[in-house]
């Protein structure tokens, strides 16, 4: 073929034009364009598939790795476990799936980004959100099954924060400002004085201003992080090819609990507003990410199984809108709810109450000696606890740094003690000048759970803090396990023969003797012969009542191996072996799908199947 000079010149001109255009396109900011392959087009390079996962705590994922084995015990899910593990039983690492995970505290402060190949650890995280955890969320099996389907590099961008609502923190821009439902507004108008927990009339402008300030904060953080990652995908995904670009291949939304339980925003369980907000969210994320047809999966909240019908219907409703046909799918997660775990959970609470309680009290505050669970444990030493003599003294905080300026539930703290009693807990300390008496040592009236403690063998004087010591003789240490039985309203330190064996810094309202099992490091200080038990604690008061109240008592108990076996057998009346097996698959509460890897694994797989379905229907 012969090309004349004129034709050659024209050809070279257009080749230069095309080269320049191609170069400009390649250099364009990747966060402002979505690269896709048109149907029927032939491309030597495939755009990187990018999936966005967003939501609140259940998108974070609270399923601990220790619950994996439970998946294999059900024939219906055993094959799923094989996908999640390597042949040697270790968790799988997806070589072709990379993660960028932004999360942080509930208030959105101290956010951190976790990076790496997809494996376990991209679930809910602790104080350092950039570091892996021992948990998974839906991302784990979602990535596994997308990798299996696509057989090409994948980038997952996950943003999730616990305790965030769609009506406020995730509120999409186009939804407009938060406005009280008319029914709620009418109630507010009837109570300008602020009764029934309603803000006073003069405080309502500030309430609205605070609401407006909080609205959309987490939505914006979500979008900003996605754009940041897409501005340089290679930072997260080494397999990214800038010439091929990327494709926003799907968005998965898994949220809802804070909206489900919000009676102010959704009075009488009318969740139509959630449907409206979610439709705005779909439009807005597509618009903000320049991806008008990006496949969108609504993970319909399924906590409590088939309950919460009105909310589940409202959450799924946007998928039926004409504008979203073919590219929005609602995936029900209620079918993955585990009824065996659900049935065992209340039994677990009863079981925990039994083993966590050393002794109970009758309504008049005296010790209940008829509780059948107490017969297996024996008090250590003589005299017996009810006859044991205590010596005690009370003190107040005298230094400014130790004083509290206002009421707080968390009042337990260490203070500077008066000179001469700094070593009050040591066995050799001379307590002969202290007050003597039997325990419990108490003051005021501690009323809770139908029990009233107001008659004490020994009075706790005016001081906020109590120091108490008791001596007992031990001649038998032939026990398999030891525990501390302690009655205390506020926090405490416990010392045995001069060694601190336990600290509790919070408070417990229910009047009862708690059971605190002691480990070998603690029990090594228990000896035959003379032993000294010492306790430091403070009293309690309410801002509504100036009266202080408290009660303090403690002793050590032991159980033999034979009696432990009898105890365990008796406890099967409460929690059967079947219940125990089910609870091995749980690591959290029902609002987090029990923290069950079995549930989260099925949810993640279902999300992947929904994306695949939409891709195949194009």
Q: What is the DSSP string of 369-409?
A: TT-GGGGG-EE-SBS-GGG--EEEEEE---SGGG--SS--S
The token duo for 426 is 């040591």
User: Which residue, 170, 168, 147, is CA-closest to 51?
Assistant: 147
Mean predicted confidence (pLDDT) in 579-607: 97
Q: Could you tell me which of 171, 169, 127, 146 has the C-alpha nearest to residue 52?
A: 146
Any idea what DSSP says for residue 91?
B
pLDDT computed for residue 379 by the predictor:
97
**pLDDT per residue as tens digits for the range 43-88:** 458 999 999 999 999 999 999 999 999 999 999 999 999 999 999 9
Mean pLDDT, range 159-178, rounded to an integer = 98
Instruction: Return the pLDDT at 444.
Output: 94
- Kindly indicate the confidence band of residue 409, based on its pLDDT and cuts at 50, 70 and 90: low
Does the pLDDT value for residue 29 go beyond 50?
no
pLDDT band, residue 156 (cuts 50/70/90): very high
Whether residue 200 has pLDDT greater than 70: yes
Provide mean pLDDT across the span 539-562: 90
pLDDT at 582 over 50: yes
Does the domain at 47-178+216-338+588-616 match CATH 3.10.20.30? Answer given as no
Phi-psi region of 272 (alpha: psi -120 to 50; beta: other; left: phi over 0): alpha
Q: Cα(first)–Cα(last) distance of the chain, in Å?
A: 43
At residue 44, the pLDDT reads 56
Q: Which position has the token pair 């008791």?
A: 470
Q: What is the pLDDT of residue 535?
A: 98
What whole-number distance in Å separates Cα of residue 69 and Cα of residue 597? 9
566: enclosing H helix or E strand:
helix 561-571
Q: Average pLDDT of 128-138? A: 96
**Mean pLDDT across the chain:** 91
Closest by CA position to 254, among listed 61, 97, 80, 50:
61
439-450 average pLDDT score: 94
- The residue with greater pLDDT, 432 or 31, is 432
Give, in order, the Cα–Cα distances in Å from 371 to each of 375, 487, 495, 598: 8, 16, 28, 38
**In the predicted model, what is the mean pLDDT of residues 104-118?**
91
Q: Which of 456, 476, 513 is nearest to 382 (CA)?
A: 476
CATH hierarchy code of domain 349-577: 2.60.120.260
If one counts every other C-beta atom within 10 angstroms of the C-beta of residue 178, the result is 17
Q: Give Cβ neighbours of residue 440 (< 8 Å, ≥ 6 apart).
A: 453, 456, 457, 458, 487, 551, 552, 553
Q: Which range, of 1-5, 45-49, 53-57, 351-355, averages the lowest pLDDT?
A: 1-5
For the chain, the domains span 47-178+216-338+588-616, 179-214, 349-577
């Amino acid at each position: 073929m012969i090309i004349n000079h004129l034709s050659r010149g024209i050809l070279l001109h257009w080749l230069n034009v095309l080269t320049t255009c191609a170069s400009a396109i390649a250099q364009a900011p990747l966060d402002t364009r979505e690269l896709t392959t048109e149907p029927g087009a032939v491309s030597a390079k495939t755009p990187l598939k990018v999936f966005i996962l967003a939501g609140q705590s259940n998108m974070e994922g609270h399923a601990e790795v220790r619950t994996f084995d439970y998946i294999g015990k059900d024939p219906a899910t055993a094959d799923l476990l094989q996908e999640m593990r390597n042949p040697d039983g270790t968790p799988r690492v997806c070589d072709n799936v990379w993660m960028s995970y932004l999360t942080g505290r509930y208030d959105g402060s101290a956010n951190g980004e976790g990076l790496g190949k997809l494996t376990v650890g991209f679930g809910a995280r602790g104080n350092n959100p950039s570091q892996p955890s021992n948990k998974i969320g839906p991302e784990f099996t979602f990535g596994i099954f997308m990798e299996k389907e696509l057989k090409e590099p994948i980038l997952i961008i996950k943003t999730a924060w616990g305790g965030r609502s769609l009506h406020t923190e995730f509120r999409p821009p186009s939804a407009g400002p938060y406005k009280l439902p008319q029914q709620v507004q009418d109630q507010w108008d009837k109570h300008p004085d602020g009764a029934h927990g309603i803000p006073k009339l003069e405080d309502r402008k500030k309430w609205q201003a605070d609401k407006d300030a909080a609205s959309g904060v987490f939505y914006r953080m979500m979008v900003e992080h996605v754009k940041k990652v897409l501005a340089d995908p290679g930072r997260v995904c080494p397999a990214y090819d800038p010439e091929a670009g990327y494709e926003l291949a799907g968005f998965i939304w898994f949220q809802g609990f804070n909206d489900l339980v919000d009676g102010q925003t959704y009075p009488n369980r009318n969740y139509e507003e959630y449907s409206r907000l979610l439709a705005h969210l779909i439009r807005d994320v597509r618009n903000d990410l320049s991806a008008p047809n990006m496949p969108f999966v609504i993970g319909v909240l399924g906590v409590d199984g088939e309950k919460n019908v009105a909310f589940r219907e409202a959450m799924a409703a946007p998928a039926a809108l004409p504008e979203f046909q073919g590219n929005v799918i609602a995936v029900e997660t209620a079918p993955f709810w585990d009824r065996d775990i659900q049935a065992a959970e209340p039994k677990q609470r009863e079981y925990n109450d039994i083993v966590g309680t050393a002794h109970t009290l009758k309504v008049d505050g005296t010790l209940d000696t008829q509780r059948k669970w107490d017969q297996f444990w024996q008090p250590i030493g003589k005299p017996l606890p009810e006859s044991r003599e205590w010596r005690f003294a009370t003190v107040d905080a005298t230094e400014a740094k130790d004083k509290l300026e206002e009421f707080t539930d968390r009042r337990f703290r260490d203070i500077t003690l008066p000179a001469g009693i700094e070593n009050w807990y040591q066995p050799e300390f001379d307590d002969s000048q202290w007050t003597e008496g039997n325990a419990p040592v108490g003051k005021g009236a501690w009323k809770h759970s139908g029990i009233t403690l107001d008659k004490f063998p020994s009075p706790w004087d005016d001081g906020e803090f109590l120091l108490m010591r008791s001596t007992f003789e031990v001649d038998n240490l032939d026990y398999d396990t030891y525990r501390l039985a302690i009655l205390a309203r506020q926090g405490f330190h416990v010392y045995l023969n001069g060694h601190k064996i336990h600290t509790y810094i919070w408070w417990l309202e229910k009047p009862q003797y708690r059971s605190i099992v002691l480990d070998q490091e603690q029990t090594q200080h228990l000896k035959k012969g003379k032993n000294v038990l010492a306790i430091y604690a403070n009293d309690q008061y309410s801002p509504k009542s100036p009266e202080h109240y408290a009660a303090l008592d403690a002793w050590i108990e032991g159980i033999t191996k034979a009696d432990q076996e009898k105890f365990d057998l008796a406890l099967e009346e409460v929690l059967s072996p079947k219940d125990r097996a089910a609870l091995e698959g749980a690591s959290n509460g029902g609002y987090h799908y029990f923290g069950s890897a079995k549930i989260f694994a099925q949810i993640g797989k279902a999300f992947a199947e929904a994306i695949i379905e939409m891709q195949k229907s194009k």
